[in-house]
Amino acid sequence: MTSAVLLVEDDERISEPLIRVLRAEQLDVTHVAAGEPALASVDDSTPDLVLLDLTLPDIDGLDVCRRLRTDHPALPIIMLTARAEEMDVIVGLGAGADDYVAKPFRLAELVARIKARLRVAGQIAAVAPTGAPLAGAEIALHPSSRRCFVSDGGEETEVELTSKEFDLLRLLMGQPGHTFKRDDIMSEVWDENWWGSTRTLDTHVSTLRKKILDRTDPPSKIVTVRGVGFRFEPEPAQAS
């Protein structure tokens, strides 16, 4: 099935060649040039992914991103912007973007990022196609709202996760007991063209353990499989 992409970009010098390339990749592209039409378009027919320019003629792209993330928690959003400073990237991701591409960009790289986001979204949707929660070891993930709850001493408490933390835990919980290789996790949760260190994965696992897993009773585990990767154990693991 063809994936639908909403392009929100007011510069025709960027939008026109990008539309041609995306359509050549068999993507169904809808183009709008401002924030309000973008919000209306998503409300009318939710796309599979949004390419969102940060600088728009009516509403700031960050505000558009925040509103989209609030109303459509699972919608993949890639920001396009000429602002490439580290703080701008942090603000953009904090507003709810899943990825951030600085202009000028290579079309091939952007297409690869789009496909990676669509593939991850498809993989995660396949884990729970009905939107039913994933549950195990006193943890419940709600895919439709992207919320996480932990039973702590018999009382259910919501735990706030970042987008990547949620996607990582959801991938692992989707196949309890299955060992995921480190490179496969990076490909599924971050980018299919990821290269270099997987140190960020260790950081996210460590954070998840502190936020959630150590709070359950008995403690549940994201088990480290040395030299391979990680797996989720819904019951206390014998070794890690």
Per-residue confidence band for 58, with pLDDT thresholds at 50, 70 and 90: very high
Q: pLDDT tens digits for 109-143?
A: 888 888 888 877 765 555 444 455 677 777 888 87
pLDDT above 50 (res 238)? no
- Which pLDDT belongs to residue 19? 93
Q: Is the fold of 4-127 the same as that of 134-233?
A: no
Confidence label for 239 from pLDDT (cuts 50, 70 and 90): very low
Structure tokens at 69: 């993330």
Instruction: Using alpha carbons, list the distances in angstroms from residue 3 to 100, 118, 197, 206, 208.
Output: 20, 8, 31, 34, 31
Q: Which CATH architecture has domain 134-233?
A: Orthogonal Bundle (1.10)
CATH number of 4-127: 3.40.50.2300
Phi and psi angles of residue 83, each rounded to the nearest 5 degrees, phi first = -85, 110
Which structure tokens are listed for 205? 């696992």
Tell me the domain boundaries of the chain. Answer: 4-127, 134-233
Of the listed ranges 83-87, 182-186, 208-212, 232-236, the least confidently predicted one is 83-87
Q: Decide if pLDDT at 187 tops 50.
A: yes
Is pTM, for the whole model, over 0.75? no
**Residue 33 above 70 pLDDT?**
yes
pLDDT tens digits, 5-18: 999 999 999 999 99
